[in-house]
Structure 1
Amino acid sequence: MHAVWNRLTPQRLLAASVTVALATIALKTLAWWLTDSVGLLSDALESVVNLASALFGLWMVTLAARPADDNHPYGHHKAEYFSSGFEGILIIIAALGIVWAAAGRLWAPQPLQRLDWGLALSVLSSVLNGGLAWVMLRASRVHRSLALEADARHLLTDVWTSAGVVVGLALAWVSGWLWLDAAIAIGVALNIGREGAHLLWQSSQGLMDEAVEPEVRAAIDAVLAGFSYQRNGADIVRFDHVYTRKAGQRRYVDLHMHMPAAWTLGRAAALRASVEQALMSAVPGLRASIQLLPSDVEAHFDDLCDLK
């Protein structure tokens, strides 16, 4: 089963997202054309954002997969954060457009037509988006892909949006309260605007070298604890100045390893290699930088956080 998820690469799934976005745009645009519902129009506009986001995300994950080069010696992994940020901006723009389109209808409601067909088409598009989002979300955890997770969560937002539109329009159909159409559209805008702001925040944290996830840090600490030991109450091997960061799918840890000054360089290097191998086994995709220091030597930095 794990091999199946490995074959569902971010590139393949984002390409599938482009195809599904085109299909849902066609379905939702037809639903809007049949009903003249501004609520369904807002739903169709969000699908246009899905298409643009999937295309940009596909470009960014392709760029992120490129190997390191002379100009980018640490690789291109952070490209995925641009995808998440771009998607967040598009979502917010779509939300503002929906509010603009719905405001006039709120004060001057228009009659709705052929809601049965319009709602059926909206439900069908939601089934397509929901199925793809479920697959993408699971695959994003396997590949640790922020671009894939962002697109999956956007699709899930689209599903909930469509569900709200369907329920609201059904109520408007039964009750005759036509103003519900515009009210639903504004509610959709507020909901997707919140999701867009979340994606922007998530992207900014990644670009600012945010620390790894708590469970990843716990795995790193567990490995280091396994290599630390004392003799007669004195530290023989210890670790400090442990700092982590993440860049797209890649995780990094920098640390100092202290050991007796009398040890030979060969013995110290062998232990460091063992620690590095254990860390990479515990956290796939991790890159470790370990500085060797004698037990009685402390490193000092100008950064205030290092002096605490």
Structure 2
Amino acid sequence: MEETRSRWVKISLIVSVLLLVVKFYAYLITGSTAILTDALESIVNVVAAGFASYSIYLSSRPKDDNHPYGHGKIEFFSAGLEGALIIIAGLFIIYQSVYNLFFPQELDNLLEGILLIAGSGVVNGALGYTLRKKGEETNSITLIANGKHLLTDTFTSLLLVFGVVILFVTKIQALDSIIAIGFSAYIVYSGYGLVRKSVAGLMDEADPEALEATVKVINQHRKDTWIDVHNMRVQQYGGDRHIDLHLTLPYYLDLKQVHDEVEELENVLELDWPGVVEVFVHADPCIPEKCCHYCQIKNCSVRKFEMNTKIDWTSINMSKNQKHYHDQVK
């Protein structure tokens, strides 16, 4: 899996460098600020791909004494850097576009520039789609971020081509700066999205998708002896997933039986995830006076109250730091 990540991020770097040359050539022969927006974003692609290559390498290293939770968070730095560079490039282009409104430059060879940008956009689109798909398969936020960025770049490139075609037909030179400003605003917005996601990961913000996936697999393998699961926390760093939870078991189980139940739950969670999974389970004994009402164990010899309900396990009640008998309190 790590080899797949590394291979595709290197391909992304090579392609980004080649497209950077093509787009700057298109800018040099046309003098179009709108085309410059695409060229500058390609610089971001190259820098981001280079940093992504390093982050993929670092995140694949095993945990050590200084990094007991592994190195997966480096991928959040990669996505954040990419977003920050996108924002800087977008703001620079806005400045350049406003300047060109007052001091317009002569535009040449627009048709050739259009063809070069269109071809670059198609290549970026194919690569971006592949990177996002491989990122989802390998649970790599870096590949996903890089893929989404390239797909965004493709979308803006194709719209840019449309705008430059209008400029080519109408000969209204001011359209060059207006188009560039519009695309720059979109670029800044997309960069903000990457930075926002990066900060969320570094701050250990709750990951709804990872939590829902964990809840789903536990429900699929739910056992009657697992009376309830609560205080569950799920964090994902790159391809690593960390899960903490409390598992309520019958109080009369001996230590070996408790260990076997905990191990079974851990195996269920580990086998469901293609990457590295670290599971910490805290076992709690049931409280007959409070748990019997929803305990699903049939013919329980120590039952004190009749079972009268079954509590659905959801991401909401499994995340609470309390046993599920609280759900019975009206």
TM-score w.r.t. length of structure 1: 0.88
The residue number in structure 1 matching 2:248 is 258
- Please say if 1:269 is aligned against 2:259: yes
The residue number in structure 1 matching 2:227 is 237
For residue 43 of structure 2, what is the amino acid of its counterpart? V
The residue number in structure 2 matching 1:118 is 113
The residue number in structure 2 matching 1:146 is 141
Q: Which deviates more from structure 2 when the two are superposed, residues 46-55 or residues 155-164? A: 155-164
| Aligned mate of 1:291, from 240, 263, 282 | 282
Question: How far, CA to CA, are the matches of 2:215 and 2:20 in structure 1?
Answer: 45
Structure 1 residue 225 displacement after superposition: 6.6
| Aligned mate of 1:53, from 48, 51, 55 | 48
Superimposed CA distance per residue, residues 162-214 of structure 1 (whole angstroms, 9 cap, x where no aligned partner): 11221111111111111111111111210110010000000011112233343
Consecutive unaligned residues in structure 2, runs of 5 or more: 291-319
Question: How far, CA to CA, are the matches of 1:132 and 1:164 in structure 2?
Answer: 18
Q: How does 1:15-164 map to 2 (within 5 A)?
A: 15-164=10-159
Question: How far, CA to CA, are the matches of 2:255 and 2:94 in structure 1?
Answer: 67
Structure 1 residue 150 displacement after superposition: 1.0
Superimposed CA distance per residue, residues 132-187 of structure 1 (whole angstroms, 9 cap, x where no aligned partner): 11110100110111111111111112112211221111111111111111111111
Could you say what secondary structure the match of 2:61 adopts? coil
Question: How far, CA to CA, are the matches of 1:277 and 1:220 in structure 2?
Answer: 15
Superimposed CA distance per residue, residues 42-68 of structure 1 (whole angstroms, 9 cap, x where no aligned partner): 211110111011101111111111111
Q: Which deviates more from structure 2 when the two are superposed, residues 254-263 or residues 124-133? A: 254-263
Question: How far, CA to CA, are the matches of 2:207 and 2:223 in structure 1?
Answer: 22
Consecutive unaligned residues in structure 1, runs of 5 or more: 1-5, 231-235, 299-304
Q: Which deviates more from structure 2 when the two are superposed, residues 285-294 or residues 195-204? A: 285-294
Q: Is the 8 A contact 2:217 2:269 kept in 1?
A: no
Structure 1 residue 248 displacement after superposition: 1.8
Q: Is the 8 A contact 2:58 2:74 kept in 1?
A: yes
TM-score w.r.t. length of structure 2: 0.83
Question: How far, CA to CA, are the matches of 1:186 and 1:7 in structure 2?
Answer: 39
For residue 49 of structure 2, what is the amino acid of its counterpart? A
Structure 1 residue 261 displacement after superposition: 2.5
Aligned length: 292
What percentage of aligned pairs have identical amino acids?
Answer: 33
The residue number in structure 1 matching 2:271 is 281
For residue 241 of structure 1, what is the amino acid of its counterpart? N
Larger CA Rg, structure 1 vs 2:
2
Q: 1:13 to 1:91 in 2, by over 3 A?
A: same
For residue 282 of structure 2, what is the amino acid of its counterpart? Q
Q: Is the 8 A contact 1:22 1:51 kept in 2?
A: yes
Could you say what secondary structure the match of 1:94 adopts? helix
For residue 187 of structure 1, what is the amino acid of its counterpart? G
Question: How far, CA to CA, are the matches of 1:41 and 1:7 in structure 2?
Answer: 35
Question: How far, CA to CA, are the matches of 1:7 and 1:130 in structure 2?
Answer: 23
For residue 152 of structure 2, what is the amino acid of its counterpart? T
